Chains A and B, each alone.
Chain A
Amino acid sequence: MATNKRKFGFWSVVGIVIFSLFWVALLSGNILWTSDTPPLQVIDDMDNQPKVKGQAPSSFFADGKATRDPIEYTVPRTGTKYNVSMDEADTKNINTVPATPEVLARGKNRFETMCTPCHNHDGKGNGLVVQKGFANPPSLMRPEAIAYTDGKFFHVMSAGQNIMSSYADKLSELDRWCIVHYIRVMQKGGTVPAVSQSTSQSDKQTTAQAGTAKTASAQ
């Protein structure tokens, strides 16, 4: 009887562990294989609060969108709505952003992110998306493009041109000017941001002067 009891005790523990681990393995199916069902939640510790969340649906509004579209005839609190025509672009879009190393680095980063799918890293077109069937944009390095004013580049980015759509929602005004500066550097055959310390220093000084001159003129 005593040996029997010990046996039962030992095998019951082994049994419990194996049976439990089977269930753990079953639940952890999500590790071994992927699952389409949402994660299991035993106790909802205020994990899902009944509040309006970004980009979530809402039954409160008729169109079911929690994220509201801007009301007509309103402008965003930060920034302005771009409303310049192509003819006015040269005169109305004035580049007041100095070409500091930070601006050029930012311009390079934004160009690589937003523009390279079509315009490619060198700005000459035939990016990877173009190779998939998008219209090939004309080179940014051609003489006509070099002759463009900064304002015109800004206009194309803000309003789009031909098949290219507006990037005003993706790039802030400052970012667009940064890209203009970067395109200028590329057109001159320069590289960014391989700015050595000395040049960046002198750049900073000149841009600082330019900045003060501009603020002075603005006042």
Chain B
Amino acid sequence: MFTAKTNQKTKNTILAGIALLGFISIVSYFGFDNLVTDVGYRPEQPIPFSHKLHAGDLQIKCMYCHTSVEKSKHSTVPATSTCMNCHVAVKAESPKIAKIKESWETGKPLEWRKVHKLPDYVNFSHARHIRARVDCASCHGEVEKMGVVTQMKPLSMGWCLDCHRNPQANVVPAREISGIFTGLDSYEETAKKIKNDAPSRGEGKWISIRECAIEGTGVYEHEVGKASVAGLVMPKKLALGPENCGACHY
């Protein structure tokens, strides 16, 4: 590696440089992965709200509070009035809900901290996924068992594509606790359909944007049957998620 002429100091410098490069490359390759940096984010909320108590023990469905999830891209954090539906009477004097009461009286919203964050150049639609009967737990983990909401999945693009390529293996089908509307099928039938009949593209297959356009993978499938009444929010047909860039980055 070194000639006899190289003195010890230069040798050491070069070796130290290689060591530093190795260190930086290993840390930046493994250490800054979404799986490492994002998973486990558990901010403290203004109110010690427990999903474990509300959704787990009291069996209040996810959609009781997060109502817009099947109609909007955004799954809204409930308004203070939603809390007060019950808390006008239940534990009304508890110091833990003093902030809710204050918000209710002054009209100033509570500042909940956002846990699951996607980059701003991603157009993720909650409604599209919920109406495909993908359960909340697919991306958020089993929130009804969490005292404090924690990010359980990396929410990286590779992780999104895992499901889009192979939903059978990765999707959690709609569960009763979520309150997702599964049409005329029961939750069990829906789960069976997603696990058995859902299409699969096979893992690790890379296709170009052009191929995507030809295959039409970016085109959404039709509705299941026809809504017998105009405006009825019906679930949609099981389909592969699109894999073309323009599906999410537009």
Q: Are B31 and A19 in contact (CB under 8 A)?
A: no
| Cα–Cα, bound, A128→B232 (Å) | 29
Q: Are A105 and B184 in contact (CB under 8 A)?
A: yes
Q: Are A174 and B232 in contact (CB under 8 A)?
A: yes
Q: Are B32 and A42 in contact (CB under 8 A)?
A: yes
Q: Are A165 and B81 in contact (CB under 8 A)?
A: yes
Q: Are B26 and A17 in contact (CB under 8 A)?
A: yes
State whether the Cβ of A217 lies closer than 8 Å to any Cβ in chain B.
no
| Cα–Cα, bound, A215→B82 (Å) | 37
State whether the Cβ of A139 lies closer than 8 Å to any Cβ in chain B.
no
| Smallest CB separation, A176 vs chain B (Å) | 12
Give 1 or 0 for each of B22-39: 1 = CB within 8 Å of chain A CB. 110011101110111111
| Smallest CB separation, B177 vs chain A (Å) | 10
Given A8-B15, A54-B74, A109-B179, A102-B234 contact (CB < 8 Å): yes
Q: Which of B81-102 contact A (CB under 8 A)?
A: 81-82, 84-86, 88-91
| Smallest CB separation, A111 vs chain B (Å) | 10
State whether the Cβ of B109 lies closer than 8 Å to any Cβ in chain A.
yes
| Cα–Cα, bound, A57→B26 (Å) | 38
Question: Which residue of the partner chain, among B23, B30, B77, B232, contacts A106 with CB atoms under 8 Å?
Answer: B232
Q: Are B64 and A117 in contact (CB under 8 A)?
A: yes
Given A24-B36, A27-B32, A174-B231, A101-B74 contact (CB < 8 Å): no
Q: Are A114 and B229 in contact (CB under 8 A)?
A: no
Q: Are B60 and A117 in contact (CB under 8 A)?
A: yes
Question: Which residue of the partner chain, among A20, A65, A163, A195, contacts B89 with CB atoms under 8 Å?
Answer: A163
**One of A45-53, A80-88, A143-151, A182-190 contacting the partner:** A45-53
Q: Are B42 and A27 in contact (CB under 8 A)?
A: no
Given A21-B26, A103-B229, A36-B44 contact (CB < 8 Å): yes
Q: Which residues of chain B are near A175, meaning CB under 8 Å?
A: 233
Question: Which residue of the partner chain, among A33, A54, A133, A163, contacts B91 with CB atoms under 8 Å?
Answer: A133
Q: How many residues of A contact B (CB 8 A)?
A: 73
Residue of B nearest to A174 (CB): B231
Given A109-B181, A133-B90, A24-B58 contact (CB < 8 Å): no
Residue of B nearest to A97 (CB): B229
State whether the Cβ of B47 lies closer than 8 Å to any Cβ in chain A.
no
State whether the Cβ of A28 lies closer than 8 Å to any Cβ in chain B.
yes
| Cα–Cα, bound, A196→B19 (Å) | 71
Given A103-B229, A170-B67, A134-B90 contact (CB < 8 Å): yes
Q: Which residues of chain B are near A17, meaning CB under 8 Å?
A: 22, 26
Q: Which residues of chain B are near A98, meaning CB under 8 Å?
A: 228-229
Q: Are A55 and B31 in contact (CB under 8 A)?
A: no
Q: Are B184 and A193 in contact (CB under 8 A)?
A: yes
Q: Are A24 and B30 in contact (CB under 8 A)?
A: yes
Question: Which residue of the partner chain, among A12, A38, A117, A207, contacts B43 with CB atoms under 8 Å?
Answer: A38
Instruction: List B residues at the A interface (Cβ < 8 Å).
Output: 1-2, 15, 18-19, 22-23, 26-28, 30-32, 34-44, 57-61, 63-64, 67, 74, 76-77, 79, 81-82, 84-86, 88-91, 108-109, 111, 117, 119-121, 150, 176, 179, 181-184, 186, 225, 227-229, 231-234
For this complex, 28 residue pairs linking A to B, each with C-beta atoms less than 8 Å apart, are A5-B2, A8-B15, A15-B19, A16-B19, A30-B38, A31-B35, A33-B40, A34-B150, A35-B40, A38-B41, A39-B117, A42-B28, A46-B119, A49-B121, A53-B120, A63-B108, A101-B184, A105-B183, A106-B232, A110-B181, A112-B176, A117-B58, A117-B59, A128-B57, A132-B91, A135-B89, A169-B81, A204-B228
Instruction: List A residues at the B interface (Cβ < 8 Å).
Output: 5, 8, 12-13, 15-17, 19-21, 23-24, 27-42, 45-49, 51, 53-55, 57, 63, 65, 97-98, 100-103, 105-106, 109-110, 112-114, 116-117, 128-129, 132-135, 163, 165, 169-170, 172, 174-175, 178, 193, 195, 204, 207
